Amino acid sequence: MGRVIAHVTIRNVIDPTKELHCDALVDTGATMLTLPTRWRERLGTFPHCQKVNMQVATQERVETEVCGPAEIQIEGFRPVMGEICFLDMKGENGEPEPLVGYITLEQSGAAVDSLGHRLIRVPYDLK
């Protein structure tokens, strides 16, 4: 399967002047929007932050900080309120690679089209 990249806008709901635009890898194995820890200060102060121990793709357990609420908008989809996981991360080339997880996708009404290597709109399901 190819990589699906989405343009994402993240905004602090307490201080809407604090916003961030980035391209993020859509990772259906990740739970939530995950950003590099070093970007946290660009979004200002959040009313709720908590240290959380999480398991990453390498099966290693790491301490992260989960903060919110934040307005998260995947380009072309509706904005949602959610949490952000801040993690010390490095991509393949040494640069951090933000991730969009499945909770953010589901809230936004988006799903991965594996054949088209893109995000598609899906109806909300209350089952």
Domain boundaries, the chain: 5-121
Handedness of CA 92, 96, 97, 99 (dihedral sign): positive
Amino acid at 118: R
**pLDDT at 127 (0 to 100):** 74
Q: Give the Cβ contact number of residue 29 at 10 Å.
A: 8
pLDDT per position as a tens digit, 36-70:
999 999 999 999 999 999 988 889 999 999 999 99
Q: 123 falls in which pLDDT band (50, 70, 90)?
A: confident
Contact 73, 22 (CB under 8 A): no
- Report, in angstroms and rounded to the nearest whole number, the Rg of the chain calculated over CA atoms: 14
Q: What are phi and psi of 31, to 5 degrees?
A: -80, -50
Rounded to an integer, the average pLDDT of 9-20 is: 96
Q: What are phi and psi of 108, to 5 degrees?
A: -80, -10
CATH number of 5-121: 2.40.70.10
Contact 54, 66 (CB under 8 A): no
**pLDDT at 1 (0 to 100):** 56
pLDDT per position as a tens digit, 72-94:
999 999 999 999 999 998 777 87
